[in-house]
Amino acid sequence: MDALIEKILQKDNPTVAGLDPRPAHLPPELRELPPDEAYLKFNLGLIDALADVVPAIKPQAACYEALGAAGVAVLEKTIAAARGAGLYVISDAKRGDIGSTAEAYAEAWLGDGPLGSDAVTVNPYLGSDGILPFLASGRDIFALVKTSNPSSAELQDLDCGGEPLYMRAARLLERLGAESVGEFGYSRIGAVVGATHPEELTKLRALFPNTFFLVPGYGAQGGGAADVAGAFDGRGLGAVINSSRGIIAAWKKTGGDWKDAARAEALSMRAALRAVRK
Amino acid sequence: MDALIEKILQKDNPTVAGLDPRPAHLPPELRELPPDEAYLKFNLGLIDALADVVPAIKPQAACYEALGAAGVAVLEKTIAAARGAGLYVISDAKRGDIGSTAEAYAEAWLGDGPLGSDAVTVNPYLGSDGILPFLASGRDIFALVKTSNPSSAELQDLDCGGEPLYMRAARLLERLGAESVGEFGYSRIGAVVGATHPEELTKLRALFPNTFFLVPGYGAQGGGAADVAGAFDGRGLGAVINSSRGIIAAWKKTGGDWKDAARAEALSMRAALRAVRK
């Protein structure tokens, strides 16, 4: 997790911008293009507008897969452009499989191929067989612990011997990560915990000092800076906060140039997060 | 699930052949080609050899993603060729996300685009928000319940109020599927249960009469026909059994033509499954 933390420190900003292009988010000037061309122009414009403000971007794989191989080619170009601009790339793919299949996913998302990213999100339901193959890459993962959606309670909150399932998942990650703790005290296995659960964030932060958090759900999903304050450690590290629609579709609220609107929203989010980290 | 069941009845065979190309599975004659071309020739040859024996194929998305967009293009052509040959296609992608992201995955895998399949596998960790968006497609899903890998016990077997987590997941699926039960009594939400857990298969079959099973782990992973017998209902329906390496890499054991070897293995598996279904 060291590469991400260094970029957060450089920019004094724990924001990750979610590049989740959907037809409804495209500004009018791009809507006449074929969808794959529009998504690429949109992403390149956003990367240009945000590269000196945010340390990281998080493309959501589903948005690209919806266009098939043509969309995946846009994702390849997006990842390359972002890494070329010095950004840390978290591919939000929530992959989860076992053995040689997990190795193939690791090869895809954390290898030297065209989708190679700095980190990928994974689903922990299959246990360590679905997590450890990703670590061999030497790069980072973020595994789901407590997700931001309303129905996350259906399985994640089930009582498993006195504590909820998500807590057991978090314990598994902390244990599996123990051998990869880096210079800032965080392992290469991070946890996804939604901004919609501020109390759980605070509790998990205290219990799992070696697990870095990826926190979605800021902005459009309802979480604010106060909700994520508990995710940070005493140094203002420990978490990166994601906003997707809030940034990339900011032009819908503000009008004006879509790149300027995204940048303004990212600057505003940076200020809000700086205020709660100290 | 009706379309799958009709094809199983037509061919009197509950086998799904896993099309999981990896460099090590390629026969010598294809190894000189660029990987994407080799995978496509391999798959088209296998589809041709198997189309009158098996009712369904299951491509593993990871194998294609490992090649990036070029691999995803091979997957598109594989899906189209298999559906064109009258096969039911289960894309084994184990996707899992929420809300508009789950809708994008459903658009990708169960829509009319180039990756559009008859069914997709999903991960239930996020709860019904991660499952219901797929049903709007009108097609089928298979959600993970009890997977075939050794570490599946780490989370899936945790005691949640007197029964293991995987049982709670199965209850959730049976409940969510209730409104989509088709003419054979099975809903459009199936469950993935590994062949490596014969006792659990028998128990789940008895408890969840409306949930169709996708059973991986036959052959190379150690499960045999006797292990999966409990997955079938009194009519010999209720489950489709997957073999991947056992079929597609059969040439490694038998020598000879790789297509003939795959076909011979599929015929042998059909005979073994027919014997335990009655």
- The 10s digit of each residue's pLDDT in A127-178 is 999 999 999 999 999 999 999 999 999 999 999 999 999 999 999 999 999 9
Q: Is B11 a catalytic residue?
A: no
Q: pLDDT above 90 covers what percent of chain A?
A: 94
Give me the average pLDDT of each 10-residue run along chain B (278 residues): 98 98 96 97 98 98 98 98 98 94 97 97 97 96 96 96 96 96 98 94 96 92 88 96 97 96 98 92
Cβ separation A161–B156 shorter than 8 A: no
pLDDT score for A223: 79
- The 10s digit of each residue's pLDDT in B120-170 is 999 999 999 999 999 999 999 999 999 999 999 999 999 999 999 999 999
DSSP-assigned letters across all residues of chain B: -HHHHHHHHHHT--EEEEE---GGGS-GGGTTS-HHHHHHHHHHHHHHHHTTT-SEEEEBHHHHHTTTHHHHHHHHHHHHHHHHTT-EEEEEEEE---HHHHHHHHHHHHSSSTT--SEEEE-GGG-GGGTHHHHTTSSEEEEEEE-SSGGGHHHHT-BSSSSBHHHHHHHHHHHHHGGG--TTS--SEEEEE-TT-HHHHHHHHHH-TT--EEE--BSTTSB-HHHHGGGS-TTS-SEEEEESHHHHTTHHHH-S-HHHHHHHHHHHHHHHHHHHH-
Cβ separation B108–A153 shorter than 8 A: no
The answer to whether A34 faces chain B, any CB pair under 8 Å, is: no
pLDDT at A96 over 80: yes
Q: What residues in B contact A154, CB-CB < 8 Å?
A: 127-128, 172
Alpha helix positions (H), A26-141: 35-50, 61-65, 69-84, 99-110, 132-135
Cβ separation A127–B156 shorter than 8 A: yes
Could you tell me the CATH number of the domain that includes residue B84? Answer: 3.20.20.70
Between positions 79 and 118 of B, the ones with CB within 8 A of A are 94-102, 104-105, 107-109, 111, 113-115
What is the number of structural domains in chain B?
Answer: 1
**From the list A98, A147, A160, which residue is nearest B126 (CB)?**
A147
> Which residues constitute the domain of residue B86?
2-277
Kindly report the pTM of this predicted structure: 0.97
pLDDT score for A278: 65
The answer to whether A149 faces chain B, any CB pair under 8 Å, is: yes
Mean pLDDT estimate for chain B: 96
Between positions 206 and 265 of A, the ones with CB within 8 A of B are none
**From the list B62, B113, B151, which residue is nearest A104 (CB)?**
B62
